[in-house]
Amino acid sequence: MRRRRLARLLVRTVRVWLKRDSGQYWPSIYHAMPSPCSCMSFNPETRRLSIGLDNGTISEFILSEDYNKMTLVKSYQAHQSRVIMVLFVLEMEWVLSTGQDKHFTWHCSESGQRLGGYRTSAGACGLQFDVETRHVFVGDHSGQVTILKLEQESCSLVTTFKGHTGGVTALCWDPIQRVLFSGSSDHSIIMWDIGGRKGTAIELQGHNDKVQSLSYAHHTRQLISCGADGGIVVWNMDVERQETPEWLDSDSCQKCDQPFFWNFKQMWDSKKIGLRQHHCRKCGKAVCGKCSSKRSSIPLMGFEFEVRVCDSCHESITDEERAPTATFHDSKHNIVHVHFDATRGWLLTSGTDKVIKLWDMTPVVS
């Protein structure tokens, strides 16, 4: 009996893996492509497999019911260079994609016709779509997220926002809470509360390297983030989180009034050597090293690791406020791609080591 089906991209080949009675996975299909594969999107309802290639083409296949055959349906010349992301939207019969050519495009999957496009400020590697509002979210290497409103043959710019210091590497959309998560090469995740219409942005810090992929478990309100550091972090988003404060500007320590090293006048008047400026992660005040000698985690602000806080804030943080809101797991490989199956609670990770791992997440995602 053949059971769980998995697809894998390897250089110029597409492989479909079936789980045998022995519990082992074996490839049932080994299909050679004309160009190296760069991304893929699979729809289990229609068994439609969309594959983006290095030459800018998107090839669309239909897999047979027994998953032993794949038939080419059509190809789209979507981009001038590598396809970075591809997304099939069943409700609209659209194929959305981003490319290294800095373009977002969408095609009609029935006719194969190109419906429209939009040039982004940089190469885009994050792509999400909201069926209800027809909004598409595009994250690019400049750290910007662009929101577009798609019509049948046109699109309009809704807004752009930027909160990362590095490029956006992953996006995840929660259509129920209307929240967008963005992961970045700056190691951080930002939760954008779009549905709240108040511009709230919550920062999450739990990785030591760039965030590679994001998945969301709607039924438990848990975010799963995976990074190049090999870490799998499960975030509890069913808690009341707080925005991190803006860092305040000052020419002297806002605790002891010692001048910072660029404040020559105060240094001369007080006959004191200028100090280096730091910032408290809890209150945002500009402080010197002596007044911020303590470290603490602040999970409700997204700081699962210990960060610099001023001495007074350190005293005010309770043990309850230090209680972690995330769990950490080591995948033991540099994760490149992730897929989460919420119905089974399974997480699939693939890494730069060319290994695919299947994780049972039910002990932590429940």
The domain limits of the chain are 81-244+327-360, 264-322
d(CA 96, CA 254): 50
Q: Which two tokens stand for residue 359?
A: 């994780």
d(CA 227, CA 209): 6
d(CA 7, CA 31): 11
Looking at per-residue pLDDT, the higher value among 276 and 183 belongs to: 183
Mean pLDDT for the stretch of residues 175-194: 94
The 346-351 sheet, strands edge to edge: 335-341, 346-351, 356-360
pLDDT of residue 10: 45
Is the model's pLDDT at 284 over the cut of 60?
yes
Is the model's pLDDT at 172 over the cut of 90?
yes
d(CA 287, CA 252): 8
- Indicate the CATH number of 264-322 among 3.10.20.600, 3.90.1150.10, 1.10.760.10, 3.30.40.10: 3.30.40.10
CA dihedral 308→312→315→321, nearest 10 degrees, is -60
Q: Is the fold of 81-244+327-360 the same as that of 264-322?
A: no
Q: Which residues pair with 168 in a beta bridge?
A: 184
Identify whether the C-beta of residue 73 lies closer than 8 Å to the C-beta of residue 60: yes
Q: What is the mean pLDDT of the chain?
A: 90
Q: Which residue has the tokens 């690019």?
A: 140
User: 257-267: per-residue pLDDT in tens?
Assistant: 888 877 777 77
Query: 222-227 and 231-236: which strand pairing?
Result: antiparallel
Sign of CA dihedral 162, 163, 168, 170: negative
Got the DSSP string for 190-245? EEEETTTTS--EEEEE--SS-EEEEEEETTTTEEEEEETTSEEEEEE-SS---PPP
Mean pLDDT for the stretch of residues 84-100: 95
d(CA 215, CA 224): 5
Looking at per-residue pLDDT, the higher value among 5 and 172 belongs to: 172
Looking at per-residue pLDDT, the higher value among 2 and 157 belongs to: 157
Is the model's pLDDT at 73 over the cut of 90?
yes
Closest of 141, 264, 261 to residue 210, by C-alpha: 141
Identify whether the C-beta of residue 260 lies closer than 8 Å to the C-beta of residue 277: yes
Q: Which residue has the tokens 């929660």?
A: 174
pLDDT band at 197 (very low <50, low <70, confident <90, very high): low
- With a pLDDT cut of 90, the percent of the chain lying above it is 68
Q: Which two tokens stand for residue 144?
A: 């910007």
What φ, ψ does residue 264 adopt, rounded to 5°? -65, -35
| CATH, domain range 81-244+327-360 | 2.130.10.10
pLDDT of residue 121: 87
SS3 track for 57-99: EEEEEEECCCCCCEEEEEEEECCCCCEEEEEEECCCCEEEEEE
User: 344-356: per-residue pLDDT in tens?
Assistant: 899 999 988 889 9
- Least confident segment among 208-212, 241-245, 309-313: 241-245
| Neighbouring residues of 97: CB distance < 8 A, sequence distance ≥ 6 | 52, 58, 76, 78, 79, 83, 84, 85, 86, 87, 104, 105, 106, 107, 127
pLDDT band at 198 (very low <50, low <70, confident <90, very high): low
pLDDT of residue 7: 47
pLDDT band at 274 (very low <50, low <70, confident <90, very high): confident
Mean pLDDT for the stretch of residues 136-153: 93
d(CA 224, CA 170): 12
Q: Which two tokens stand for residue 186?
A: 């700056």
Residue type (1 letter), 264: F
pTM, two decimals, is: 0.86
Is the model's pLDDT at 11 over the cut of 80?
no
Q: Would you call 291 helix, strand, or coil by DSSP? A: helix
Q: Would you call 10 helix, strand, or coil by DSSP? A: strand
- Least confident segment among 46-50, 132-136, 247-251, 327-331: 247-251
Is the model's pLDDT at 39 over the cut of 70?
yes
- Least confident segment among 11-15, 174-178, 294-298: 11-15
Q: Would you call 38 helix, strand, or coil by DSSP? A: strand
Looking at per-residue pLDDT, the higher value among 288 and 3 belongs to: 288
Q: Would you call 55 helix, strand, or coil by DSSP? A: coil
Q: Which two tokens stand for residue 151?
A: 């019509």
Mean pLDDT for the stretch of residues 99-111: 94
d(CA 269, CA 255): 19
